[in-house]
Amino acid sequence: MAFELYSVIFAVLFACGCLVLLLVVQAVLVSMRLKPKKNQSPRHGKVVLHQMPPNSRVLNVSPSCLKLETYLRMNKIPYESDYSFRMSSKGKVPWIEYNGTSVADSNFIVRFLNEEFQLDPDAHLSVEEKAIAHTMLVTLEENTYWTLIYHSFVADLADTRSMSPLLGVTPIPLNYVMSWLASHYLRQNLWGHGIGRHSREEIYSIAERDLRAVSQVLGTKRFIMGSKPCLLDAAIFGLVAVFLWNVPHSPQAKLIRSQLKNLEAHCYTIKEEYFPDWDELILKNTNSLDY
């Protein structure tokens, strides 16, 4: 009897040891694949955009990365993407390197590049429009964005596990451990922000009110403030594209497709105008980590 018990304990410990070893090997392999390639020296005059890589659904799963790439294209700023998952000094993406200077956070980057390239994507807006655009951008990035995080990392983690640029190509069982850790970390972020203290229905209703407001301001216009795009158009695109194409089953995407069709049309307008190579980029850069 005692011998059988010892055998069972031994078998369980052996299985746990094998699992831990497997996780360690997988983690080492993933981190080796993530190491930036040696010959990536930033070119003078070209912005190096450190951002998330595409997945098969969308050019970027991060609204702020997609906004920044759209801003670069809108303003014809030469850039190249670095998809190596290196985070900024602030621990996030996107960030850039430009002629030896590193700048973190999409909005500080926009301010920096506006100065460097002597441009203002909002120059055609009135003082009042600029104030409205600023307020809407902050609403989308500091409020609506968190409903996306809630959906992706709390409500539908299984989908995120299969489509995230990193988790989606990380082998099982490491995939499960990493997605659980990401979910735990982001739940804490959501709680700290405050939105994570609301019920599921309340969180989706927050998204609905924000998206409806943007849709009402857009109305029948081609771009949010008229016939010419501004920075806010890039921010709207960044978030709406991720809702529509990366989490198409989310309540936010369903709402946009069924009731806020002008936001969907706006999304296609920006994609067609600035990303004629969208599919090509996705094809070229997805699964760069594939095993």
Ligand X SMILES: N[C@@H](CCC(=O)N[C@@H](CS)C(=O)NCC(=O)O)C(=O)O
- Would you tell me which residues interact with ligand X (CB under 6 A)? 62, 64, 91-94, 105-107
Which CB, 64 or 164, lies closer to ligand X? 64
Rounded to an integer, what distance in angstroms lies between the CA atom of residue 7 and that of residue 274? 64
Q: Quote the least distance from Cβ 92 to ligand X, whole Å.
A: 3
Rounded to an integer, what distance in angstroms lies between the CA atom of residue 57 and that of residue 233? 21
Residue listed under structure tokens 């120059």 = 123
Q: Quote the least distance from Cβ 60 to ligand X, whole Å.
A: 9
Select from 175, 142, 134 the least CA-distant residue to 158. 175
Which CB, 22 or 104, lies closer to ligand X? 104
Q: Quote the least distance from Cβ 94 to ligand X, whole Å.
A: 6
Rounded to an integer, what distance in angstroms lies between the CA atom of residue 106 and that of residue 4? 61
Q: Which helix (H) or strand (E) holds 43?
A: none
Which CB, 102 or 262, lies closer to ligand X? 102
**Using alpha carbons only, what angle is made at residue 280 by residues 277 and 283, rounded to the nearest 5 degrees?**
150
Which CB, 88 or 262, lies closer to ligand X? 88
Q: Quote the least distance from Cβ 93 to ligand X, whole Å.
A: 4
Which CB, 169 or 190, lies closer to ligand X? 190
Q: Quote the least distance from Cβ 168 to ligand X, whole Å.
A: 15
Query: Could you tell me if 163 and 246 are in contact, meaning their C-beta atoms sit under 8 angstroms apart?
Result: yes
